[in-house]
Amino acid sequence: MDSRLTPTATLLADLAARSREVETLLAQGAYTQIYLPAMATKDLALALETRSTELADDRRARVASAVRRVVVAAWQLDLYGDLGNRDKLTEAYHGFAGAVRDVTAAYADAR
């Protein structure tokens, strides 16, 4: 799918859905499966960052900060999933989910 052609609302919905998928896999103990939805979430966040030019400067800065946090947390989720470290995974997920909420909120506030 070419995210350049996808409506922003769809990207935001997909972002939330992939984040929920990570949460579900974490709850199920399927740590090694977290990688794919975490990286998909990262890619969606990066796609949304490229669109942030449609936002006011303050919201664009909020998106950039939140996207950075999504990217770092996604890689942490991958690492800790491979290691099977539930405590670190849970900690990384909380940062990840918060960053996803912040991206979503920055776009919602713009409407």
Tell me the C-alpha to C-alpha distance, in Å, between residue 7 and each of 11, 12, 58, 60, 97: 7, 9, 22, 18, 22
Q: Which two tokens stand for residue 102?
A: 């912040």
The pLDDT > 70 percentage for the chain reads 93
Predicted TM-score of the model (pTM): 0.91
Residue 3: per-residue pLDDT: 60
Arithmetic mean of pLDDT over the chain: 93
Instruction: For residues 59 and 67, give the distance between their C-alpha atoms in angstroms, rounded to a whole number.
Output: 12
Rg (CA), the chain: 14
> Counting Cβ atoms within 10 Å, is residue 50 exposed (0-12), middle (13-18) or buried (19+)?
exposed
In one-letter notation, the amino acid at residue 58 is: D
Report pLDDT digits (tens) over 52-92. Answer: 998 999 999 999 999 999 999 999 999 999 999 999 999 99
Residue 19: per-residue pLDDT: 97
CB 68 within 8 A of CB 98: no
Instruction: With cut-offs at 50, 70 and 90, classify the pLDDT of residue 1.
Output: low
Average pLDDT on 43-47 reads 97
